[in-house]
Amino acid sequence: MVEGKAIAPSRRRAKLALGAIFLLSTCLAWPTAGQDKPVEPGFEKGKLHELAGSISQLLKLTRDGKALRLDRRHWEKEFAADTDAQALKKLEEELVKRGMSKEWATRHARQVLKSKPVELIFAKLQTAAGSSGSSASTSENFFAKSFRGNGLTARIRAFGASFYAVLEEENAPHRRLEFSDDGRGAMRLILADKSGKFVLAVIQNRQGGFSVAQISGNDRRTEVAESFQDFYAKRRRYVDGTLFPLLAHVGMGLPWTVCNPKVEQAVLARLRGPLTQAEVRQAETLIRQLNDDVPERRERAAEALSANFARYRDTIDKATKDASNPPEAASRLKKIVDENAGQDGIEEFLDSRKLTEDAGYLIELLQEVGPGDRDAIVKALQRMTGQKLASDPPAWQKWWEQNRTATQPAGKPE
């Protein structure tokens, strides 16, 4: 993780204040249940999913050695501004637009500048939710805030290093998301609906012990491991295919993992090298179709561009800067970029893990991709290993089992 330079308190508050109003919520990395299939328990639409982008700014997890922890640094990184004066002016203007008098807007803006980063993010969530009723209580080492209305009840509480949050949907599917982190390694997350047909509990103790219990209709799952790292090494497909998508669906910000589809797509994009002329033409065709007269064609084009964002990113970025774009295409391009706002983080993750140079990981990935992607992986493997095996996943797997060293198994998170 790249650390930023220290920021003076007054400048930091300015940065925070502007973000509280002006930063757009980012979309999440994992897709929800397909619309043409029955919705799985936990994946229903509702207020938590609607506000997932804003919630993820408040509740974001990160890796800390073998464990997970609340990413408190993320609260400060969410915002950017230059000076208090600029922050104050823009904040005042935004509040006046919302109907507040100039005098009250100035007072409120100045008060906001004094808030803690997490308080500003919570205020931003309240604004996104459209709730107007709120309460607050603060002291030297404690604060509590809450709001209610327009479909969501939310409250946060912090005392010393401990942090607690609970978000509840006022309407169907009536889910409740409860999260706590004591600042010393212990963490608890419980997501449940009112019917009791869906319950998910994720618990980590101070020693790092990690456990998951899930009830989804008639399905039951209980898993225990010595740490999140061990849990992921044993149950990667469950984490990336079920657990993390469920948490992302209701707004939890989550760390990247080697089996995440977005990560796999980024790895393949790098291995394949620069876009061919045919791929550039294909991307440009899809971009033009974002303004097609046929709605279904616009949707298919947007889905294809988003699904292949890692590959088409430069072409998409170039297109977003084209002032001649029709409004429909411009809006869809912006949505595609927002949906993939975490791409920089993915690229950093790839670099830190050196995934394109990890033979074991690439051999495992080779078992899963289609014929069109195998050639790029095989060329990389041949270059790294000196082996001349063809695009034959079982043959590569057999070679790896016979030649792998005593180093860390492929895909096991650091």
Per-10-residue mean pLDDT, the chain, length 414: 37 40 31 58 93 92 93 77 66 70 79 77 86 84 92 95 97 97 97 94 97 94 95 90 93 89 92 93 95 94 93 94 92 88 86 91 91 91 91 91 62 43
pLDDT at 110: 77
Asked if 4 and 77 touch (Cβ cutoff 8 Å), the reply is yes
pLDDT at 18: 37
pLDDT at 92: 76
CATH 1.25.10 in the chain, residue ranges: 264-345
Residue that is written with structure tokens 């209980």 in the block:
222
- The enclosing H or E element of 12 equals helix 9-22
d(CA 224, CA 244): 16
User: Looking at the DSSP assignment, which residues form a beta bridge with residue 147?
Assistant: 134, 154
**What CATH number does the domain located at 264-345 have?**
1.25.10
CA dihedral 282, 287, 292, 295 (to 10 degrees): 100
Asked if 113 and 17 touch (Cβ cutoff 8 Å), the reply is yes
Candidates 265, 201, 256; CA nearest to 232 is: 256
d(CA 153, CA 170): 7
pLDDT at 299: 94
Question: Could you give the 3-state DSSP secondary structure of residue 199?
Answer: strand
pLDDT at 25: 28
pLDDT at 78: 60
Q: For the chain, how far is it from start to end, CA to CA, in angstroms?
A: 13
Asked if 18 and 147 touch (Cβ cutoff 8 Å), the reply is no
Size (the chain), residues? 414
